[in-house]
Amino acid sequence: MQISVITLFPELVKSVIAEGVVGRAAKRGLVELNCVNPRDYTEDIHRTVDDRPYGGGPGMVMRPDCLLKSIRAERKRLGETKVVYLTPQGRPIKQDMLKSLSEVDSVVLLCGRYEGIDERVIDLEVDEEWSLGDFVLSGGELAAMVVVDGVTRLLPEALGHDDSALEDSFSDGLLDHPHYTRPEKIEDLEVPEVLLSGNHQHIKKWRRKQALGRTYLRRPDVLQEKDLSKQDMVLLDDFMKEIKTSEVKS
């Protein structure tokens, strides 16, 4: 997959493919990250990328000319592609959006700075607007890096069997179950017995029950969107009973 990021801070964005799963995927050629600096598409001696807002007010706005040229050069290079502007005014990023993106050949991610970008860039060249959440960052780079990481780990073969994305939170509409590793006991907390039993069927059932229970407790909104099987309902019921029993005991 080819990911192009239009940013005033290419070095910052490139650091996302330096390490870990994404770094390995890049080395193996599964993902190619190309950073484009709109400054390279300016024509004045100062390489100006921003200007004062029409109508007055604080701050600066990113100029449309160098942004349009950057986007169009990337569209030409990539062929059919989608341009996503990272903005607090966009659709909140969800796992299913990253999943769909991981299934296309390329994407252009556009990062704003200052007060944002000239609205006409959005009118002319932006296909979708995505947000990292209901807060304001000083630039779109962190959001773009989040997208690069989240999408790359979903590419076929990016993750080994051991860290498969299939059981991650949100991949099947539930939060992930809790995880434990050595040592068996730390301070006064022990690993749940079932995980030491070697009985894979019981372990699978326990994990499913925990995933259902956690989603119910922490993200009832996520659980509401899921059609639960009869078996899942029984497991969730069990989970709730166990919680009530442990509350009575303590």
Which residues are near ligand SAM by CB under 6 A?
86-89, 111-113, 115-117, 131-133, 135-140, 143
> Closest CB to ligand SAM among 56 and 198?
56
Least distance to ligand SAM, CB of residue 43, Å = 23
Q: Which residues are annotated as a binding site?
A: 112, 132-137
Least distance to ligand SAM, CB of residue 172, Å = 26
Least distance to ligand SAM, CB of residue 137, Å = 4
What tokens were used for 50?
A: 């921003």
Sign for the pseudo-dihedral over CA of 52, 56, 125, 87: positive
> Closest CB to ligand SAM among 1 and 111?
111
- Catalytic positions are 88, 115, 153, 168
Q: Which residues are annotated as a binding site for S-adenosyl-L-methionine?
A: 112, 132-137
**Closest-approach residue to ligand SAM (CB):** 112
Tell me the angle at which helices 200-218 and 230-249 cross, rounded to the nearest 10 degrees. 80
**Nearest one of 219, 212, 204 to 241, comparing CA atoms:** 212
> Closest CB to ligand SAM among 89 and 231?
89
Give the CA-trace dihedral at 134, 136, 142, 148, to 10 degrees: 40
Q: In Å, what is the CA distance from 96 to each residue of 93, 174, 220, 228, 233?
A: 8, 13, 18, 19, 24
Q: Residue 144 — φ and ψ, nearest 5°? A: -65, -40
